Amino acid sequence: MALDCIFHAPYRLGCDVFHLNWWGESGLRPFNRVSSLGTTRRGLVLFRAELRRPIDQRHRVISSVSGISQKDFNSFPRPLSVADFSAAPEDGEKVRISFKGLPGSYSEDAALKAYPKCETVPCDDFEDAFKAVELWLADKAVLPIESSSGGSIHRNYDLLLRHRLHIVGEVQLSINLCLLALPGVRAEQLTRVLSHSQVLDLSDTFLSKLGVTRENVVDTVVGVKFVASNELRDAGAIASARAAEIYGLKVLAEKIQDDLDNVTRFLVLARDPIIPRTDKAFKTSVVFTLDEGPGVLFKALAVFALREINLTKIESRPQRKRPLRVVDDSNTGSAKWEFIIIVIFHFIILTTMWLYPFLIYTREYPSNAVVHCFMHECRYFDYLFYIDFEASMAEPRAQNALGHLQEFATFLRVLGCYPMDTTSP
């Protein structure tokens, strides 16, 4: 009974520090070992007397007995909260972010918008930006996923599925295309302009009026760097105003794109997901596949509508490893057959003499006959569906929607649950 009082008295006192130290060597000295009956009795007397004291004086007694000052208790680690597992600090201090391109690119602008004090890590390719995070060379990666003028960037959708990084944020950036040249050069002196092919297309009206030759480069900043390093006075480049500052060029014209409200959406990726919250607007991105059948896609989208969840984006992509779905007479399909099967049967028919009467009988093209006889019907393609919806995975309605979707989805993966970018582009 005496030991029971010693073990449980700290909880009655509202102080669990004594209980924590009871099991360690640095515990309260009179009670860290029950070495004699006298020690136990002294402990009981102390606690009985302690219970008679006002509650604001009890910690003082425990501190005096242990020989540890009250301020030492404040140095104990505090319990972790949801904020500890959320996104990095808003300014991004001490955060390394990888991106595709050179310093001054729009991807770096997006990274600096999300984390103003971050350290950027330029990469040669989008996949290199993924690998930089996976190899711990960077903490996060920023990559464009869609733009209001060019649509979705399919290459990056494929990379999202191939790699195991998690979406932890999004950034919407207004794209301001600027014509850059060496200091002292006027726009009328230019005979050619260098930039990315898509950027040149977006500035078609302006460049047509200028009457210059267009030269494609792999990245907007590559053109800027080429003009600056070679001191070309007859050539200009199209890039951001920040690129002009970095490489010592002058801005001749701003907002030269045909669509003045051009906005690009970027995703922020990390090795670990963040804990979803309900105190701010969150968005969730998922990818899934479905079996063939009438109304299957309708059923998949209905799980969100039934719970009043708003879909902000839906994207379909053919599966690159399984491009062909074979469907039988019952209109149920399987993606196990590959396109190579058609080629094999085609080769067999053309090279086997004993099948010649069969070809004469069908009077059809050989591959069509084989497909008709062995496969009944073929449908291209077997699709992946990417969906963004406005809900946090901490909400029961989002959990129930994905649980419902999983009942008839052949594959389902949550790419990330992250705060929505509610700032102006």
pLDDT along the chain (425 residues), means of 10: 40 36 37 43 51 49 43 44 45 84 96 95 96 97 94 93 96 96 96 96 95 95 96 96 96 94 96 91 96 90 97 90 52 44 50 50 44 49 92 96 94 96 86
Query: Distance of alpha carbon 172 from its chain centroid, rounded?
Result: 14
Tokens matching residue 26: 């640095």
Residue type, 233: R
d(CA 199, CA 176): 11
To which residue do tokens 């701010």 refer? 280
Going from the C-alpha of 11 to that of each of 33, 48, 73, 79, 130, the distances in angstroms are 19, 14, 16, 18, 49
To which residue do tokens 């010693």 refer? 6
Query: Distance of alpha carbon 247 from its chain centroid, rounded?
Result: 31
| pLDDT value of position 319 | 82
To which residue do tokens 């009082």 refer? 5
Query: What residue spans define the domains of the chain?
Result: 2-73, 85-174, 178-261, 276-337+375-420
First to last CA, the chain: 68
H/E segment holding residue 314: strand 311-318
**DSSP-based three-state secondary structure for 365:** coil
Burial class of 136 by CB neighbour count within 10 A (0 to 12, 13 to 18, 19+): exposed
| pLDDT value of position 94 | 83
Q: What angle do CA 113, 133, 177 make, to 5 degrees?
A: 35
| pLDDT value of position 197 | 93
d(CA 180, CA 240): 9
Tell me the sheet residues that pair with 192: 213, 235
Sheet containing 192-195, strands listed edge to edge, beginning at the edge strand earlier in sequence: 213-216, 192-195, 235-239, 178-181, 250-253
Buried-state track 239-265, b at ≥16 Cβ within 10 A, e below 16? bbebbbebbebebbbeebbeeeebebb
All residues at 6 or more sequence positions from 151 whose CB lies less than 8 Å from its CB, including other chains: none
Going from the C-alpha of 164 to that of each of 161, 273, 288, 314, 415, the distances in angstroms are 7, 11, 15, 21, 8
Query: Distance of alpha carbon 10 from its chain centroid, rounded?
Result: 46
**Going by CATH, does the domain composed of 276-337+375-420 fall within 3.30.70.260?**
yes
Residue type, 250: K
Active site residues: 264, 266
Going from the C-alpha of 102 to that of each of 130, 145, 247, the distances in angstroms are 16, 18, 11
Tokens matching residue 9: 């008295």
d(CA 130, CA 156): 10
Task: Report yes or no: 249 and 187 within 8 Å, Cβ to Cβ.
Answer: no
CATH number of 178-261: 3.30.420.40, 3.40.190.10, 3.40.1160.10, 1.10.150.20? Answer: 3.40.190.10
Tokens matching residue 384: 């992946």
Q: Is the pTM of this model over 0.75?
A: no
Sheet containing 324-327, strands listed edge to edge, beginning at the edge strand earlier in sequence: 333-334, 324-327, 377-380
**Going by CATH, does the domain composed of 85-174 fall within 3.40.190.10?**
yes
To which residue do tokens 């209001």 refer? 148
